[in-house]
Structure 1
Amino acid sequence: MIAATDVTGIILCGGHSSRMGFNKALLMLDGQYVILQTAAKLKELFPAVVLMTNNQQNFRVSDAFAGYPIWEDDYQNSGPLGGLVTALARVTTPYIFVTACDIPNISLTMIRQLLNSVQSEQVILYQQDNHIESLFGLYHRSCLPLFTAQLAQGNGQIRYYFPQLRVRLLSSPLTELRNINTPAELPGWRIKGNV
């Protein structure tokens, strides 16, 4: 078990958003930015919450983002792993909690379960069947050397070095971690009351 004070919350806000047709980091539901809803929830647990982006200009559209540090990715065009490596290199806490910007209604209960499950693991994530949700979990700073070497090799697959790390996978219904990928999915979130 680790304390929430040993963790920095990181929201990954990069990506091409090609299926959405616009930047998912600026996704709004019912007049509110999803990313700010997520940040506010994470702030209930963690002393610091950071927006990790591939372009800080994305967040100049609203003063609402001013309450959170915005870090620009040191590894442009490297996918989520670039943001993960940048965050691990900059934080002062032993762990980071990472989530994607397009998962509305994140569960604090699921995050607490991750925190309570830590023993000596470097990575703690959820899985269902063979699907591992690598963008909703805890990563220890000791992962940094392997992940940095992986980026240098041009390999952006986060799970590539998992066999060389101490990883714990918790079972979970991943429907709770469903993200929004297309405009057609937006009404479903409103109808089901998930936001």
Structure 2
Amino acid sequence: MPADPRWRPALVVLIGLLLAVTGCTAGAAGPPPAEPAVSAPAPAGGAEPESIDIPKIGARSSLVGLGLNPDDTVEVPPVTQPLQAGWYVHGPKPGEPGPAVVLGHVDGNHQPGIFFRLKELAVGDEITVRRTDGSAVAFVVREVDQVAKKNFPTDRVYGDTEGAELRLITCGGVFDSTARSYQDNVIVYATLTGSSR
């Protein structure tokens, strides 16, 4: 079954966000980026994700819904709360067919972010997403990639999938102090392995 087409119109702006590095900060001196709102409504259908747990890297966070800003870029968790992860509400929910997307900071506010150690994940590592109905969905990492933002693999990340998959995305690589952004993205591809109540 293909990914829910409801999020297709927002796909281009999501890519633009990732390529422009919005939400990936280094906690460098100077004023932080403006804090976006993170209260966008989620599409109807299925249980919403509530939290994420990645034991290998000690990453545990509640999940806030991320929609679109007024300028049509994707919202990110506030940089003043770098340990907060969020999920893109206009895409599939984790556990639904298609690639669900979770975004997190590599760092911010002069401290490591929720996905600071994301690049340490390896094939076979487990990720659990708990949902508001009390259920949980388990994913296993099948690939970890680090790519230059200018070569972001749009089709691989957001293309339709028959089963439920998960994408975790943060920034990585060299930090460009002039642009105040990282040059790469770290992307984790994971596949659903099961669910429980």
**Length-normalised TM-score, structure 1:** 0.28
**Length-normalised TM-score, structure 2:** 0.28
More strand by share: 2
More helix by share: 1
